[in-house]
Amino acid sequence: MKLTEDPHRRLNPLTNEWILVSPHRTSRPWQGEVAKLQTTTEPTYDPNCYLCPGNSRVGGARNPQYTSTFVFDNDYAALKPDTKPERLDFDSLGLLVAEGEPGVCRVICFSPRHDLTLATMSPREIEPVVQTWVEQFRELGSREHISYVQIFENRGAMMGASNPHPHCQVWATSSIPEAPAKELIAQEQYLRSHKRCLLCDYISLEQRQQVRIVCENAGFVAVVPFWAVWPFELLVCSLRHMGGMNDFTPEDFRLLSEMLHRVTSTYDKVFQVPFPYSMGFHQSPTDKADHPEWHFHAHFYPPLLRSATVRKFMVGFEMLGTPQRDITPETAAARLRELATG
Ligand SMILES: [Zn+2]
Ligand SMILES: [Zn+2]
Ligand SMILES: [Zn+2]
């Protein structure tokens, strides 16, 4: 079996799920949807933007004239802190089960400037954003009923971001959400059977092979994981073993800012457009237990496949069976590496 030619499946050891790779299909002609290319440049201030300084939001609140980052409780929060965490199980058969989910949803603006992105902000300008993430993680994670703090950014209309103003969200929940819950189990099992950390071992394998690594600095590495589903998916890991932002040193603020700028500006070069993506940090749960197994990382899931207008869809076999990709992670990594260093 040749990884460059033959259909095969690859294991994601972080979730224990498989993905299907079909490298022989990369020359297949495209006859599907071609999205409209968004080419408008944004103004530095938009009077109609609910995130710009001084503007009023839908709920009636008015934003302050903020000059750096700005955090507020989401006006349409998906979670409420005062929800009762009770469990319902109709007829005790485990067939109709529901649980109250207390939580907090916040919005973090990266900058007062409406037209910036992580790719166009300098690493120095990103540092206060990282600082704010760390503060939010600490504050929400220390609350009694919060077991997990998910920081994530949806960028671009293609990913459902309704506003181009640079911002992200924080959802803090009383339960551990599905994706990190799977990774928790896998990392725990790996630590138990190998007496080592899964991602520490994975990173050192990638560093030896130098096939899927896109870029690296003194603190973080960006790699197209062997099991990537999205065409240009990236995993950004800390080189040092640490559970999350609670363990950051001042140097980590600087190095993560630099890495995020590098990754996002590289993405923008792939198809010469602001690259849409969903990204988020996977950190140690804040359930007040020890998590020696957890290794801090971020996932970038960008949907673009072949051009600025052709995206990957998760439909058909992928929705009903297993996610699948044509272009191999190694080919995607080579392309990104060329753009990251060029
Ligand atoms: Zn704005
Ligand atoms: Zn580790
Ligand atoms: Zn993860």
Digit-coded pLDDT (tens) for 10-43: 999 999 999 999 998 876 655 666 666 666 789 9
Across residues 211-224, what is the average pLDDT?
98
Looking at residue 39, its pLDDT comes to 63
Distance 194 CA to ligand 3 centre (A): 20
Over residues 155-173, the pLDDT tens digits come to 988 888 879 999 999 999 9
Any catalytic annotation for residue 145?
no
- The full 3-state SS of the chain, as one line of letters, equals CCCCCCCEEEEECCCCEEEEECHHHCCCCCCCCCCCCCCCCCCCCCCCCCCCCCCECCCCCECCCCCCCEEEECCCCCCCCCCCCCEEEHHHCCCCEEECCCEEEEEEECCCCCCCCCCCCCHHHHHHHHHHHHHHHHHHHCCCCCCEEEEEEEECHHHCCCCCCCEEEEEEECCCCHHHHHHHHHHHHHHHHHCCCHHHHHHHHHHHHCCCEEEECCCEEEECCCCCCCCCCEEEEECCCCCCHHHCCHHHHHHHHHHHHHHHHHHHHHCCCCCCEEEEEECCCCCCCCCCCCCCEEEEECCECCCCCCECCCCCHHHHCCCEECCCHHHHHHHHHHHHHC
Whole-structure pTM value: 0.96
Over residues 76-114, the pLDDT tens digits come to 899 999 999 999 999 999 999 999 999 999 999 999 999
Over residues 106-116, the pLDDT tens digits come to 999 999 999 99
Distance 17 CA to ligand 2 centre (A): 20
> What's the chain's average pLDDT?
94
Across residues 283-297, what is the average pLDDT?
97
- From the list 114, 165, 167, 261, the catalytic residue is 167
Distance 299 CA to ligand 1 centre (A): 25
Distance 196 CA to ligand 2 centre (A): 8
> Which ligand is in closest contact with the Cα of 202?
2
The percent of residues in the chain predicted with pLDDT above 90, rounded, is 88
